[in-house]
Copies of this chain bind each other. A is one copy, B any other.
Amino acid sequence: MFEGSQLAKKYKIKKCECPSGKMTRFVEPCLLFFLSQQASYGYELMAKLDGFGFPKAKPDPAMVYRTLRYLEKEGFVVSRWDIKGGGPAKRIYELTARGFGLLHLWAEGIETRKKVLEKFLVLYKQRFKGTKKRMKPAVGRSR
């Protein structure tokens, strides 16, 4: 996400020191949402995630498949095998009523998250507007 960034180069901040591009447990709500649109299976859901504009280039298959199994174990989705179509058998997942409930809950949480990030960005832009983003350390302290 930040590799090759101009800022990272400027301040000699290596990749490993950079803020991670993780979106904590964001795969789960995405899967729930996709399944709320229509039943689907792991491989296809992975492709949808790929086009979602994730920070990380590629979604991890492990995350997708394990999350789906977890959701089924907890009763948020149900699955059945599809051996009709071409290629290897697919495990088709469908969202249950509880699954819809979880999705709505996630949406509330994501709304909150977004607001917190927005608040940060408002304060940040306020603090640095007009500057060249290379402020000297502030002197003195609070109280």
* From B111, B114, B120, B133, contact of A29 by CB (8 A): B120
Q: Of residues 15 to 42 in A, which have CB atoms within 8 Å of B's CB atoms? A: 17-26, 28-30, 33, 35-41
Chain B residues, Cβ within 8 Å of A10:
101
A115 pairs with B53, CB closer than 8 A: yes
A92 to chain B, nearest CB (A): 6
A109: contacting residue among B1, B97, B128, CB under 8 A: B1
B residues in contact with A106, CB < 8 Å: 19
Partner of A108, one of B5, B33, B141: B5
Contact of B116 with A19 in the complex, beta carbons under 8 Å: no
Q: Do residues B11 and A116 form an inter-chain contact, with CB atoms below 8 A?
A: no
